[in-house]
Amino acid sequence: MKQFLLSTIIVATIGFSATAQTKKEKGFTSLFDGKTTKGWHTYNKTTVGSAWEVQDGTLHMSPTKKGKDGGGDLVSDKEYANFHLKLEWKVAPKANSGIIFYVHEDPKYGQTYLTGPEMQVLDNDGHPDGKITKHRAGDLYDMIKSTSEPVKPVGEWNKAEIISNKGKLTFILNGVKVVNTTLWDDNWKALIAGSKFAKWEGFGTYKTGKIALQDHGDDVWYKNIMIKELK
């Protein structure tokens, strides 16, 4: 019996080590520990607004818990240049949010979206933005319409990936590549010029910045947030 237990422990240990090693080889770092908001803060502040709560291993934007200065977009403490971001999201009916990147944190910019491009997070059928081209879930918001819409029904988890490597930008939603473009070239400048951001100084120009989770005033949940820095 003792020998059996010892063998079981050894096998389990080897399995755990292999799993840990696999994760280490992949090079991804967790941005959310599932228990606290460590590693995040409200944009242009040092704390996290009360509307962002940790709930059952998720980061939940709960608009009903907003007090004075209780909301606002969350941003990562750290900035990233070339990266591969993975996370999961789900929304309540009629909800809107977004994953914003290359966010430049500076008091002269009042919001994350004034500098950072966005992967749209949305209830396509219930929110008014769902009727607007380039505003649906998975789109590069107001710039590029996703090539397909593999989004899950409201209340179900979606797996999203944003890969930005040396100017090459890719969005993946539930395993399907939905956006592919190049940042900062003439075509990128033309995309900005043809969008609502045309006259926004600084939008889409920063090559390093923070990751943001948008508070759009609706219930949204995020989990399994991890990032790999690319070289």
Instruction: Render pLDDT for 140-180 as a digit per residue (tens, 0 to 9).
Output: 999 999 999 999 999 999 999 999 999 999 999 999 999 99
Residue 121 has pLDDT above 50, yes or no: yes
Residue 184 has pLDDT above 80, yes or no: yes
Question: Span 31-229: which CATH code?
Answer: 2.60.120.560
State pLDDT tens for residues 197-219: 999 999 999 999 999 999 999 99
State pLDDT tens for residues 28-72: 999 999 999 999 999 999 999 999 999 999 999 999 888 766 789
What distance in Å separates the CA atoms of residue 109 and residue 229, rounded to the nearest whole number?
26
